[in-house]
Structure 1
């Protein structure tokens, strides 16, 4: 197997279309290997979301390439691209909740749509994850009826469900819900040990203090692109 195919995510001088992405019109390059974690400080939540969209193949490119699990997003048929996105767990800034459905269905729907895993197996896994994150079980209330803290926990349950190969986590933990950090780091560590690549965006990079696991790199996402951060001891 070639090195290209071993990368979970790779951006090769990927230059996004500004009009459709809102990202600065500069090329982005990164290589995320199985088990790696990129910590990206970004004060602008919209910029973080747009960069996560780029990694998810949702942003057209002027030039360069964006690959996930060795597959070039722009060369994939739509059905294959959405199937590949089924291997990505994501926490989104705006939540991406559908209030017409219960939180339980919001959590399960991606895996129900993209995999053949029996429904009861998914329910059992999601329920166990919910309890590990401090919820009493899989919440059935509409997302809008949950507290902000419980929605944050539910968002993590949805992201980690189904043992994803890539995690794109936009502010999964904030100061106001930092009590879930222990559970979050436990699931993050388990995912990385399974070979999942992780990008963790945060407006509050001080939350990373003390997280120095092997294979972790720190960056800032600015108008000028991705800039390495000095390692904090």
Structure 2
């Protein structure tokens, strides 16, 4: 599917904006309270959360998958979530999918389709959401694979790769097609080889220098402590919502 965001300019100040937004969620997931978060191009925001399901729901909320709650009395939405200046709630399915094509994600579940070879798993989001030529995407994927320690674009089924190589492939998929927003759920493990750890931060920094905004949701502060710099926003996601 070739989806485009026709008519979308660069007249926005924030890549991601949660403005008094209340998620349509029950008490077992993302707490239905007001969320405020404003993320500029190139900014990296850290969110500490030890609940994997809650982390995933927060990422879904940022990506417009989990909708904003409506007031039952008035029918009006309680706040707004915008990405690249566009309110998720005002987009039809085609434009919403196209906008999600500008988002790279690393999820706890990984989301590999077991029946597809890994190269198709890696390329599919970019092929589905963009008009980028297949050959260009393959060339970009090969370069990213090599950056993360794979000899080339893997063609085996996901189950045939080691856990470490699947993690490498997950990084490749997330950084494909120069995303404008990265939503990362526990993206690194301190037990991973230092070469992979360093490669991840190299690509992350390069993406931010291109203007990509980053939301890093993690269970352990130690995972990002080496990357944390003065002025970076830090939050904790818990029963009371998103708190500094």
Contiguous gaps of at least 5 residues in structure 2: 1-8, 70-77
| Structure 1 counterpart of 2:75 | none
Separation (CA, whole Å) in 2 of partners of 1:214 and 1:141: 42
User: Which one is further off, 165-174 or 203-212?
Assistant: 203-212
Return closer, same or farther for 1:156/1:20 CA change in 2, 3 Å cut-off: farther
**What TM-score results when the alignment is normalised by the length of structure 1?**
0.92
Q: Pick the structure with more strand per residue.
A: 1
| Structure 1 counterpart of 2:115 | 100
| Structure 1 counterpart of 2:24 | 17
Q: Pick the structure with more helix per residue.
A: 1
CA positional deviation for 1:214:
6.0
Of the candidates 82, 107, 113, which is equivalent to residue 128 of structure 2? 113
CA positional deviation for 1:200:
0.9
Contiguous gaps of at least 5 residues in structure 1: 229-233
Separation (CA, whole Å) in 1 of partners of 2:233 and 2:33: 21
Return closer, same or farther for 1:73/1:172 CA change in 2, 3 Å cut-off: same
How big is each residue's C-alpha offset from its partner over 1:24-48, in whole Å with a ceiling of 9 and x where there is no partner?
Answer: 1111110000000001111111111
CA positional deviation for 1:4:
7.5
Residues 152 and 173 of structure 1 are in contact (CA less than 8 Å); yes or no, is this contact kept in structure 2? no
Of the candidates 224, 227, 232, which is equivalent to residue 216 of structure 1? 232
In the alignment, does 2:219 pair up with 1:203? yes
Q: Secondary structure at the match of 2:22?
A: strand
Aligned residues: 227
Q: Secondary structure at the match of 2:65?
A: coil
Separation (CA, whole Å) in 2 of partners of 1:141 and 1:217: 39
How big is each residue's C-alpha offset from its partner over 1:143-167, in whole Å with a ceiling of 9 and x where there is no partner?
Answer: 1221111111111100000000000
Separation (CA, whole Å) in 2 of partners of 1:48 and 1:202: 8
Q: Secondary structure at the match of 2:124?
A: helix
Separation (CA, whole Å) in 2 of partners of 1:216 and 1:76: 30
Q: Secondary structure at the match of 2:32?
A: coil
Return closer, same or farther for 1:20/1:178 CA change in 2, 3 Å cut-off: farther
Separation (CA, whole Å) in 2 of partners of 1:194 and 1:208: 21
Separation (CA, whole Å) in 2 of partners of 1:214 and 1:31: 17
Q: Secondary structure at the match of 1:174?
A: coil
CA positional deviation for 1:105:
0.4
User: Which one is further off, 19-28 or 71-80?
Assistant: 19-28
**What TM-score results when the alignment is normalised by the length of structure 2?**
0.88
Separation (CA, whole Å) in 2 of partners of 1:19 and 1:40: 20
Separation (CA, whole Å) in 2 of partners of 1:154 and 1:224: 35
CA positional deviation for 1:175:
2.2
CA positional deviation for 1:178:
4.8
Separation (CA, whole Å) in 1 of partners of 2:38 and 2:169: 29
